[in-house]
Amino acid sequence: MKESERIVNEIAQGLSQLDEGASWFSTLEPAQQKAVLREVVSHSMQAHATVEDGREGVARSGVKPTANPAVMIVREPLPDRMAKIINLPDSENVKAFRVLVSTFSVADTRRRELECRGSCSHAWHNLT
């Protein structure tokens, strides 16, 4: 499993703090940051994230609701909005990371509780 994938999933599962993840993320080059954002969007789609998850994610993200990624993640159609978040200027990358990972955490927690129920073969749900 890639370092980025492990870190993002540790946050989603409450094994690591979003602030720690954001600190790690901020040390990456902008191109690496974009690659991580693309991964998080992909994970979010797999976890069937919704606009409602986006709302809850923004509330947990520490990002102002008026910031670009926060405004975009609460609008339909979500896959399209998430793609646009990835394409924001690099100066928005850290806010985008916080909003996307928080939203993924909400969607993935629901998936773990309702579908996986503690016994699944998803490598990223079996980190320990």
Q: What are phi and psi of 117, to 5 degrees?
A: 50, 40
Q: Which is nearer to Zn ion, 14 or 77 (CB)?
A: 14
CB closer to Zn ion out of 59 and 120: 120
Question: How many C-beta atoms lie closer than 10 Å to residue 59's C-beta?
Answer: 13
Footprint on residues 28-87 left by Zn ion (CB under 5 A): none
Distance CA 25, CA 113 (A): 27
- Least gap, CB of 27 to Zn ion (angstroms): 29
Number of residues located near Zn ion, criterion CB under 5 A: 4
Instruction: Name residues contacting Zn ion, limited to 98-127 (CB under 5 A).
Output: 116, 120, 122, 125
Question: Six-digit token pair at 59?
Answer: 């509330």
